[in-house]
């Protein structure tokens, strides 16, 4: 695992006024693992535990829910009474200093041993100030900005009474049907690992000092392999070789552990036959013994109870299995409080193991400084000062702009210039709530800027901006009902779809350019939101076709939480801007890009397929014995008859208003011995009249080895700013570790033979050089 090369990059960003103050601080960040409990902590906890009854110890393993967000079938009952009896270790789903203080007071002044609560919440991409969904954050390829975003979210959460956030979500995902791809960083283990570290340090602080009132404890999720759910259907089985796990899916979890993440959440899914929450190999052998994780493990929502549906036994049995696997805290299911005492009595669970779980939960509270200040510095005055402060909104706008990906731009349709009359059309144009995206925590739709509003704000009063809805986001009654039930507040126009389209066409005819804001509503991605058809839902494509027929330039602005299939759009739109769900400042940020106030620099971190039948589709695939070389009549090759193998938009792809050209990579050596590294240099030139940022990407292929290896793997990248016309040599150092992989015996090795180095603007458009690793 490599260390992020943040130093030079952060310094550059600071110099450009882009990375901000925090980037400079983070440049010093070293991936420090969680320190082992020191003697003082151990003594304090031992002394406390000596006073605890077995029941109180089990109480520490109990995490209950109050408030509104419920993602499972169970709701916690009699919470206050249980807290007072010492039967609750933590609470999730509530915030505000008043609510947090009330709960904490109950625990510290009315329970026998005065043990404070850990207070958790799903702070996934911002807390009050909502940032782009994580898939969008990843598209910034901007680690200081991501760290800054996580810190901002943590600061707000902490000021709002939360001390434990359920983020980062680092599940590698290659199947866009899975709704939760929106919550992660995409398909790449290297990029995912860098982002995982940046987020842990954003939340916990660069040295993991969680006693500071503006730091919170992070919770790494979902351990493990949840992103490989079969058929992209949520909660589904995962089954994969250990080699694939170690090389492709586990690196981001490991990186977060190495960065010192304080807690881990077990995932819902089955892993090679043993559901994660009962999987001792995963929770103990791998996480604790191999990776030396020193924090605590909580389950996902009612995941222990769900072991029964997985077929592992009744409540008592699954309680035993989960605790013995290495689970410390039971989220909402109350399986431990109901069964562990009996498990211990019957000898299926050792008291020593219950004690260990209790100790780990208490250690987390200690690390947060809650035994000194259970309120973690909260006050209403502080909340008022911190939450949604103007500087945070400005940061959010900046981060959101960086997350936008320009997928197409024919004839420089964008940025819009000298346009006096714009028709804004589409079901997502005037939808602040959808801008917040799924898992938008305590985000307030009333504070979010819609794309229509953003366009008006940035265009200024001389530009005429008309708006028409054009189509419903979906026509599927069942989906509408489900989304509304989960707070989607869909605004469904009851008029016939054709009438809505006709109205939009009439508006388009009067304008010089059409900006069509289409995609998914926020509830169409996220948990339990898998889709089998990943094209534009409802009649939105018909709307685009009708708009195209007007002959006006058609700018498609996409709001969505997953790669979509966009063949017609790619063929016919004048320009396409992928905006994900951009958060509180989405509208302003999108308008900044549309009007060229900001030059787009985002790149996709998940492959966009041509059609859904291609999934799972990812850039770092293997070659097969019969790779298809693109010759139409090449028969017995690994290919489809009806669609090319390659995607619509490859991993790492994204355009700019600037144009960049790349030279061939040059290597400092073409032969190296074991343990040696080499430098790769590539010249990148901005050949346009405009300053712009570019993500220079470095891939490697291990051509010969004892195992088949991917055709390319991202090993490094640099996001650089090049002035108009500027040419720069960009250098990377390839470390000996960059050449290593887990072989069939799961040994981390670099094998002699040829390696190809590829550099370029995305995973497809690369130029190559090669070197040999000798014995």
Q: How far is the CB of 100 from ligand BGC (least distance, A)?
A: 17
Q: How far is the CB of 319 from ligand BGC (least distance, A)?
A: 20
* Residue with smaller CB distance to ligand BGC, 420 or 528: 528
* Residue with smaller CB distance to ligand BGC, 199 or 577: 199
* Residue with smaller CB distance to ligand BGC, 70 or 724: 70
* Residue with smaller CB distance to ligand BGC, 71 or 645: 71
* Residue with smaller CB distance to ligand BGC, 122 or 142: 122
* Number of C-beta neighbours around residue 754 at 10 A: 13
Rounded to an integer, what distance in angstroms lies between the CA atom of residue 459 and that of residue 561? Answer: 27
* Residue with smaller CB distance to ligand BGC, 167 or 712: 167
What string marks each residue from 546 to 575 as x (binds ligand BGC by CB under 6 A) or -? ------------------------------
- Cβ distance 275 to 269 under 8 Å? yes
* Residue with smaller CB distance to ligand BGC, 167 or 403: 167
Region binding ligand BGC by CB under 6 A among candidate stretches 67-75, 365-373, 396-404, 640-648: 67-75
Q: How far is the CB of 485 from ligand BGC (least distance, A)?
A: 16
* Number of C-beta neighbours around residue 439 at 10 A: 28
Q: How far is the CB of 71 from ligand BGC (least distance, A)?
A: 3
Buried b (16+ CB within 10 A) or exposed e, 248-277: bbbbbbbbbbbbbbbbbbbbbbbbeebbbb
545's CB contacts (< 8 A; 6+ apart) are 568, 572
Q: Which 217-236 positions form the footprint of ligand BGC (CB under 6 A)?
A: 221
Region binding ligand BGC by CB under 6 A among candidate stretches 64-72, 244-252, 651-659, 720-728: 64-72
* Residue with smaller CB distance to ligand BGC, 301 or 618: 301
Q: Which helix (H) or strand (E) holds 84?
A: helix 79-84
| Number of residues counted as binding ligand BGC (CB under 6 A) | 9
What string marks each residue from 473 to 512 as x (binds ligand BGC by CB under 6 A) or -? ----------------------------------------
Region binding ligand BGC by CB under 6 A among candidate stretches 69-77, 335-343, 595-603, 643-651: 69-77
Residue 89, CA distances (Å) to 37, 111, 164, 329 in order: 19, 11, 13, 8
Q: How far is the CB of 521 from ligand BGC (least distance, A)?
A: 20
Q: Is 122 in the site for ligand BGC (CB under 6 A)?
A: yes
Place of tokens 């169409």: 524
Pairing status of strand 766-773 against strand 753-760: antiparallel
Find the farthest-apart pair of alpha carbons in the chain and give their distance in angstroms, rounded: 79
Q: Is 301 in the site for ligand BGC (CB under 6 A)?
A: yes
* Residue with smaller CB distance to ligand BGC, 488 or 692: 488
* Residue with smaller CB distance to ligand BGC, 166 or 618: 166
Region binding ligand BGC by CB under 6 A among candidate stretches 65-73, 256-264, 701-709, 739-747: 65-73
279's CB contacts (< 8 A; 6+ apart) are 271, 325
Q: How far is the CB of 697 from ligand BGC (least distance, A)?
A: 30
339's CB contacts (< 8 A; 6+ apart) are 315, 316, 319, 320
Pairing status of strand 62-65 against strand 330-331: parallel
Which of 120, 182, 45 is CA-nearest to residue 606? 182
Rounded to an integer, what distance in angstroms lies between the CA atom of residue 605 and that of residue 618? Answer: 10
* Residue with smaller CB distance to ligand BGC, 235 or 293: 235
Rounded to an integer, what distance in angstroms lies between the CA atom of residue 690 and that of residue 547? Answer: 31
Q: Which 678-737 positions form the footprint of ligand BGC (CB under 6 A)?
A: none
Q: Is 71 in the site for ligand BGC (CB under 6 A)?
A: yes
Q: How far is CA 156 from the centre of its chain?
A: 19
Q: How far is the CB of 531 from ligand BGC (least distance, A)?
A: 18
Place of tokens 């509503």: 521
Q: Is 171 in the site for ligand BGC (CB under 6 A)?
A: no
Kindly report the backbone phi and psi dihedral angles of residue 516, in degrees, each rounded to the nearest multiple of 5, phi listed first. Answer: -105, 120
Q: How far is the CB of 235 from ligand BGC (least distance, A)?
A: 9
Rounded to an integer, what distance in angstroms lies between the CA atom of residue 143 and that of residue 25? Answer: 13
Residue 581, CA distances (Å) to 133, 518, 590 in order: 6, 12, 10
Which of 651, 728, 724, 716 is CA-nearest to residue 690? 724
Kindly report the backbone phi and psi dihedral angles of residue 261, in degrees, each rounded to the nearest multiple of 5, phi listed first. Answer: -55, 140
Rounded to an integer, what distance in angstroms lies between the CA atom of residue 166 and that of residue 263? Answer: 9
Q: How far is the CB of 299 from ligand BGC (least distance, A)?
A: 9
Pairing status of strand 464-468 against strand 554-559: unpaired
* Residue with smaller CB distance to ligand BGC, 168 or 189: 168
Q: Is 527 in the site for ligand BGC (CB under 6 A)?
A: yes
Q: Which 391-430 positions form the footprint of ligand BGC (CB under 6 A)?
A: none
- Cβ distance 87 to 110 under 8 Å? no
Q: How far is the CB of 302 from ligand BGC (least distance, A)?
A: 8
**3-state SS string over 647-697?**
CCECCCCCECCCCEEECCCEECCCEECCCCCEEEEEEEEECCCCCEEEEEE
Q: Is 366 in the site for ligand BGC (CB under 6 A)?
A: no
Q: How far is the CB of 193 from ligand BGC (least distance, A)?
A: 20
Task: Return the residue nearest ligand BGC (CB atom).
Answer: 71
* Residue with smaller CB distance to ligand BGC, 264 or 696: 264
Residue 207, both tokens: 């040295």
Region binding ligand BGC by CB under 6 A among candidate stretches 66-74, 238-246, 671-679, 752-760: 66-74
Rounded to an integer, what distance in angstroms lies between the CA atom of residue 690 and that of residue 713? Answer: 31
Q: How far is the CB of 737 from ligand BGC (least distance, A)?
A: 31
Q: Which helix (H) or strand (E) holds 465?
A: strand 464-468
Q: Which helix (H) or strand (E) holds 760?
A: strand 753-760
330 is an active site residue: no
Among candidate residues 188, 300, 702, 738, the one labeled active-site is 300
Residue 561, both tokens: 């939480």
What string marks each residue from 238 to 277 as x (binds ligand BGC by CB under 6 A) or -? ----------------------------------------
Q: How far is the CB of 224 from ligand BGC (least distance, A)?
A: 13
Q: Is 188 in the site for ligand BGC (CB under 6 A)?
A: no
520's CB contacts (< 8 A; 6+ apart) are 473, 537, 559, 560, 561, 562, 564
Point out the residues that are catalytic.
300
Binding residues for ligand BGC, rule: CB under 6 A, are: 69, 71-72, 122, 166, 221, 300-301, 527
């Amino acid at each position: 695992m490599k260390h992020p090369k943040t130093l030079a990059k952060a310094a550059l960003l600071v110099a450009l006024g882009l990375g901000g103050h925090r980037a400079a601080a983070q440049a010093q960040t070293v991936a420090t693992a969680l320190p082992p409990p020191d003697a003082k902590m151990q003594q304090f906890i031992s002394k406390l535990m000596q006073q605890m009854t077995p029941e109180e110890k089990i109480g520490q393993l109990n995490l209950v829910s109050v408030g509104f967000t419920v993602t499972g079938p169970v709701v916690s009952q009699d919470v206050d009474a249980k807290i007072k009896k010492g039967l609750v270790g933590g609470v999730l789903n509530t915030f505000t200093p008043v609510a947090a203080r009330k709960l904490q007071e109950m625990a510290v002044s009315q329970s026998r041993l005065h043990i404070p609560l850990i207070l958790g919440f799903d702070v996934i991409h911002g807390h009050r100030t909502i940032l782009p969904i994580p898939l969008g954050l990843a598209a910034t390829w901007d680690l200081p900005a991501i760290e800054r975003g996580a810190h901002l979210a943590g600061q707000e959460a902490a000021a709002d009474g939360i001390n434990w956030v359920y983020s980062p979500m680092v599940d590698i995902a290659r199947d866009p049907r899975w709704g939760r791809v929106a919550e992660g960083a995409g398909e790449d283990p290297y990029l995912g690992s860098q982002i995982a570290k940046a987020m842990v340090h954003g939340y916990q602080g660069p040295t993991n000092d969680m006693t500071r009132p503006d730091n919170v404890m992070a919770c790494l999720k979902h351990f493990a392999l949840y992103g490989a759910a079969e058929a992209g259907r949520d909660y589904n089985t995962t089954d994969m070789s250990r080699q694939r796990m170690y090389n492709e899916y586990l690196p981001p979890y490991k990186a977060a552990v190495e960065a010192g993440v304080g807690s881990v959440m077990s995932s819902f899914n089955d892993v090679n036959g043993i559901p994660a929450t009962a999987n001792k190999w995963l929770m103990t052998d791998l996480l604790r013994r191999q990776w030396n994780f020193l924090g605590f493990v909580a389950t996902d929502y009612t995941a222990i109870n769900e072991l029964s549906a997985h077929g592992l036994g009744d409540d008592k049995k699954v309680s035993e299995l989960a605790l013995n696997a290495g689970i410390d805290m039971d989220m909402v299911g109350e399986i431990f409080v109901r069964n562990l005492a009996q498990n211990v009595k019957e000898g299926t669970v050792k008291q020593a193991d219950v004690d260990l779980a209790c100790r780990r939960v208490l250690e987390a509270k200690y690390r947060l400084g809650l035994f000194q200040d259970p309120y973690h510095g909260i006050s209403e005055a502080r909340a008022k000062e911190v939450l949604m402060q103007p500087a945070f909104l400005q940061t959010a706008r900046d981060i959101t702009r960086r997350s936008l990906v320009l997928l197409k731009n024919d004839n420089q349709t964008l940025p819009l210039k000298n346009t006096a009359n714009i028709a804004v059309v589409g079901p997502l144009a005037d939808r602040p709530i959808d801008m917040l995206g799924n898992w938008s925590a305590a985000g307030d739709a009333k504070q979010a800027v819609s794309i229509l509003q953003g366009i008006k704000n940035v265009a200024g009063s001389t530009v005429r901006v008309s708006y028409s809805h054009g189509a419903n986001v979906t026509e599927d009654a069942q989906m509408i009902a489900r989304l509304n039930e989960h707070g989607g507040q869909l605004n469904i126009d009851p008029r016939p779809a054709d009438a809505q389209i006709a109205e939009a066409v009439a508006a388009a005819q009067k304008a010089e350019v059409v900006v069509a804001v289409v995609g998914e509503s926020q509830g169409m991605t996220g948990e339990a939101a898998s889709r089998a058809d990943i094209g534009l839902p409802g009649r939105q494509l018909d709307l685009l076709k009708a708009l195209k027929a007007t002959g006006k330039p058609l700018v498609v602005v996409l709001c969505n939480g997953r790669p979509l299939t966009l063949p017609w759009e790619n063929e016919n739109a004048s320009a396409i801007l992928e905006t994900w769900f951009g958060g509180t400042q989405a509208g302003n940020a999108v308008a900044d890009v549309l009007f060229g106030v900001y030059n787009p620099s985002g790149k996709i971190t998940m492959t966009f397929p041509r059609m859904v039948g291609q999934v799972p589709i990812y850039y770092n695939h293997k070659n097969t014995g019969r790779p298809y070389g693109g010759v139409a009549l090449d028969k017995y090759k690994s290919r489809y008859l009806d669609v090319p193998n390659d995607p619509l938009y490859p991993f790492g792809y994204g355009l700019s208003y600037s144009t960049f050209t790349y030279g061939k990579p040059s290597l400092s050596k073409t032969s190296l011995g074991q343990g040696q590294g080499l430098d790769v240099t590539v010249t990148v030139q901005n050949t346009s009249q405009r300053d712009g940022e570019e993500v220079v990407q470095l891939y490697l292929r291990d051509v010969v080895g004892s195992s088949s290896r991917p055709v390319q793997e991202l090993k490094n990248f640099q996001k650089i700013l090049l002035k108009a016309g500027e040419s720069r040599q960009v250098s990377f150092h390839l470390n000996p570790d960059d050449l290593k992989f887990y072989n069939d015996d799961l040994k981390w090795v670099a094998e002699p033979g040829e390696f190809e180095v590829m550099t370029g603007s995305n995973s497809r458009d690369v130029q190559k050089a090669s070197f040999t690793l000798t014995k």
